[in-house]
């Protein structure tokens, strides 16, 4: 099929970056502004999106729909879009690009295919498009071949078979390592801060684990800005591991860690507005203030 108009729901940080890449690649990128705030509208317009007032009107123009939003909202969005497709008669391919467990991806697929629409399971791996390396977009499903149209538009499309859930599985195990490691680092740094051994820990890390300390310095100050979204992703990862008999407790704990970071005032930042002058030490000191000690909770 020929694809000229791409609908992206919704233009958050990742969605806006994907939309901007597709716009630069010559696609007409649209989104639905119904119920969206001024900040979302401005972000979308800055990325080259064309705003559509209603979901029905969006489906009438779109050749394909991308779902890119926090994982806990993905099933509800699929329900809403499926209802709109059936109501309007505008049946469109639907690519769920969210960080969800394979079982969640298959459940979303059932919602979309019940509406008569082709479903593609997708997993975005890496930073948002626009960096030095193309973002990887893993896709699978019987109709996933349509996604090759987007290869080279800030993304490298990776086909991984007809079986639904495989793309989401890749996303889950990759993020389990990268974002899970960041959660572990933040957790132990917060513990050191609360126990008063931060100086000693940093000195030892600089001496024997320089690369690890450097990663902490580069990654940790930005974590509060993305903590709300990462928390939901950790729970999907935990569900993924549990589904194949692997212990899931670490990533359940990682979700709690990100929820803690989200309670700090630093969570008001976005990835592009993080204070780059704030040090790792300062970040941990601020976030540590929002830890409630066990005896204080009783």
Q: Per residue in 249-297, pLDDT tens? A: 999 999 999 999 999 999 999 888 999 999 999 999 999 999 987 764 4
Which token pair is 234? 């950790």
3-state helix, strand, coil in the chain (%, to 5): 60, 15, 30
Same domain, 184 and 152: no
Domain housing 70: 5-163
Average pLDDT, the chain: 95
Last residue of a domain, one of 129, 163, 197: 163
Strand-pair partners of 137: 124, 157
Q: Say what the alpha-carbon torsion angle 189, 191, 197, 198 is, to the nearest 10 degrees.
A: 20
pLDDT over 90 for what percent of the chain? 89
Q: Which CATH number covers residue 187?
A: 1.10.1040.10
Same domain, 157 and 188: no
Same domain, 159 and 177: no
Burial of 244 from C-beta contacts in 10 A (0-12 / 13-18 / 19+): exposed
Residues near 280 by Cβ (< 8 Å), separated by ≥ 6?
189, 216, 217, 220, 221
Given this model, what pLDDT does residue 41 score? 85
Same domain, 180 and 290: yes
Last residue of a domain, one of 140, 163, 186: 163
77-83 mean pLDDT: 98
Same domain, 69 and 131: yes
pTM here? 0.93
Same domain, 152 and 174: no
Given this model, what pLDDT does residue 298 score? 46
Same domain, 90 and 193: no
Q: Per residue in 2-15, pLDDT tens? A: 899 999 998 888 99
Q: Sheet harboring 28-32: ordered strands across?
A: 50-52, 28-32, 5-9, 64-67, 94-96, 119-125, 135-140, 155-159
Angle, alpha carbons 149-155-158 (nearest 5°): 70
Which token pair is 46? 């800055």
Last residue of a domain, one of 100, 134, 163: 163
Confidence of residue 43 (pLDDT cuts 50, 70, 90): confident
Residue 34 has pLDDT above 90, yes or no: no
Number of domains the chain contains: 2
Residue 203 has pLDDT above 90, yes or no: yes
Q: Which CATH number covers residue 68?
A: 3.40.50.720
Same domain, 155 and 177: no
Same domain, 124 and 213: no
Same domain, 247 and 261: yes
Same domain, 144 and 208: no
> Which range has the worst mean pLDDT, 40-49, 166-175, 176-185, 200-209?
40-49
Same domain, 275 and 185: yes
How far apart are the C-alpha atoms of 34 and 37, rounded to whole Å? 9
């Amino acid at each position: 099929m020929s694809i000229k108009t791409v609908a992206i729901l919704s233009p958050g940080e990742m969605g806006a970056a994907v939309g901007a890449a597709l716009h630069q690649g010559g696609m007409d990128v649209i989104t639905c502004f119904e119920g969206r705030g001024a900040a979302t509208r401005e972000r979308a317009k800055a990325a080259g999106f064309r705003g559509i007032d209603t979901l029905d009107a969006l489906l009438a123009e779109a050749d394909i729909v991308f779902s890119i939003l926090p994982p806990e909202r993905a099933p509800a969005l699929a329900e809403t879009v499926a209802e709109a497709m059936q109501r309007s008669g505008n049946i469109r391919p639907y690519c769920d690009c969210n960080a969800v467990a394979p079982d969640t991806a298959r459940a979303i697929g059932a919602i979309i295919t019940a509406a008569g629409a082709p479903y593609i399971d997708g997993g975005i791996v890496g930073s948002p498009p626009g960096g030095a390396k193309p973002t990887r977009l893993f896709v699978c499903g019987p109709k996933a071949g349509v996604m090759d149209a987007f290869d080279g538009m800030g993304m490298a499309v990776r086909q991984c078979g007809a079986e639904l859930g495989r793309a989401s599985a890749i996303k889950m195990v990759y993020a389990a390592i990268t974002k899970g490691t960041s959660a572990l680092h933040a957790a132990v740094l917060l513990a050191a801060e609360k126990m008063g051994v931060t100086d000693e820990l940093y000195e030892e890390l600089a001496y024997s684990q320089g690369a690890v300390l450097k990663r902490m310095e580069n990654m940790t100050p930005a974590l509060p800005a993305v903590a709300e979204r990462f928390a939901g992703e950790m729970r999907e990862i935990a569900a993924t591991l549990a589904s194949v008999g692997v212990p899931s407790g670490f990533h359940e704990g990682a979700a709690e860690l990100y929820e803690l970071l989200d309670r700090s005032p630093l969570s008001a930042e976005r990835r592009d507005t993080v204070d780059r002058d704030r040090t790792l030490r300062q970040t941990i000191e601020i976030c540590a203030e929002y830890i409630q000690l066990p005896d204080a909770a009783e």
